[in-house]
Amino acid sequence: MPNAIEQAAQSSLYIGLMSGTSLDGVDGVLVDFSQGTQVLQHASCSFDAELRAELLALNTPGGTDELHRAALAANALVRHYAKVVQQLLADSGVAASQIAAIGSHGQTVRHRPQMFDGTGYTLQLNSPALLAELAGITVVADLRSRDVATGGQGAPLVPAFHHSLFGLADQTALVLNIGGIANLSVLGTDGRVLGFDTGTGNALMDGWCLRHTGKAYDEGGQWAASGKVIPELLTAMLNDPYLAQEPPKSTGRDLFHADWLAQRLQQHAVQAAPVDVQATLTEFTAASCADAVQRFGKGGQQLLVCGGGALNTHLMQRLAALLPSVAVTTTAERGLPPLEVEAAAFAWLARQCILGLPGNLASVTGAQGSRILGAIYPA
């Protein structure tokens, strides 16, 4: 009689759940891997202001009673995950018993790989046991820590999936995911893959927008487009040492946070109008991403953008202006809408785990080798 994992491996249907550093909510997809990668359903769920504020606070060292608060925040997060799972099942007409597994990323609150003691850590709030109970489906979670344990960055993990979906035989393919943090995948025609976090994506823009307009994000980049870039501030941002580091590398709110911005404002733009700061933050994201493409994406003729940043019209226009020899478009051109890509990647990573296949690429993360990623919580 097959065990739970063997039973799960017999299905080609997986769910992927992603809540990223943008802290805007959960994206979920139902994917059929029987013939390539086919997204059957997408659902999302926003975080309420209280949970978003708590998750942001837990990103910041020095809080009180953090272990207790983190455990309760993980429970609240997973209830949002379960809501998305139920929506996916209801909308698709698929029963929970037909799903092989859920790939549950969790919420990153600290990411410090290879630091302090030579190993460091990456910490995602999650409660996969609770999710398995609420959903009645096997859950694969803790997808980053094995890569860190073997000397890697634990991020980005999506380039392996990008390669399976967007790689081309005749030219280098480029995929840029702009979530809270941005990451670039360079997919060579020879099968070689390079990937790394380029720097901040939406995180600083969204935080500034919320603070000054009360809106969670700058829709279409309209606010930024109405401002003027502050050259001295932009230069100071672009001089951050992280941007000059060679890959493998990864980052997060541990570096690019509100205090990081406040220090540079104090030094270079103390009297600046908020709208001009927003314009400068948007240009910073565009310029750091474009620089990464120019340095490491040689031979790529098209840049496929995914994540929430792909919906920022002004940001996309600035990327196109900074990369005149590259066609800047979104992953929708290749059949997968921008908000579905990262969640689909975690469905793919869950499948890799269930099938006993590696999920990381040592060329991307700097790990000592390929590893099966994730811990399995049977239904």
Output the domain CATH number for residue 30: 3.30.420.40
How many domains does the chain contain in total?
A: 2
Q: What is the pTM of this model?
A: 0.95
Q: Does 313 lie in the same domain as 350?
A: no
- Whether 247 and 269 map to the same domain: the answer is yes
The C-alpha angle with vertex 307 and arms to 278 and 321, in degrees rounded to 5, equals: 55
- What is the CB neighbour count within 10 angstroms for residue 374? 25
344 and 221 inside one domain: no
CA angle 102/349/137 to nearest 5° reads 15
Q: What is the pLDDT of residues 115-157, one digit of tens each?
A: 999 999 999 999 999 999 999 999 999 999 999 999 999 999 9
- Under DSSP, the state recorded for 338 is G
Q: Are 33 and 162 in a shared domain?
A: no
Same structural domain, 310 and 356: no
Measuring CA to CA, how many Å separate 204 from each of 179, 208, 270, 278? 11, 6, 17, 9
Q: Which residues pair with 141 in a beta bridge?
A: 375
> pLDDT tens digits for 84-106?
999 999 999 999 999 999 999 99
Q: Is 172 found in the same domain as 280?
A: yes
Domain co-membership, 80 together with 146: yes
Element (H, E) at 122: strand 120-125
Considering the domain architecture, whether residues 261 and 140 belong to the same structural domain is answered as no
Q: Could you give the CA distance from residue 361 to residue 364 in angstroms, rounded to a whole number?
A: 5
Structural domain containing residue 62: 4-154+340-377
User: Tens-of-pLDDT digits for all 379 residues of the chain?
Assistant: 466 677 677 899 999 999 988 888 999 999 999 999 999 999 999 999 999 999 999 999 889 999 999 999 999 999 999 999 999 999 999 999 999 999 999 999 999 999 999 999 999 999 999 999 999 999 999 999 999 999 999 999 999 999 999 999 999 999 999 999 999 999 999 999 999 999 999 999 999 999 999 999 999 999 999 999 999 999 999 999 999 999 999 999 999 999 999 999 999 999 999 999 999 999 999 999 999 999 999 999 999 999 999 999 999 999 999 999 999 999 999 999 999 999 999 999 999 999 999 999 999 999 999 999 999 999 9
Q: Is the domain of 169 the same as that of 74?
A: no
Residues 224 and 369 in one domain: no
Residues 142 and 169 occupy one common structural domain: no
Do both 95 and 182 map to the same domain? no
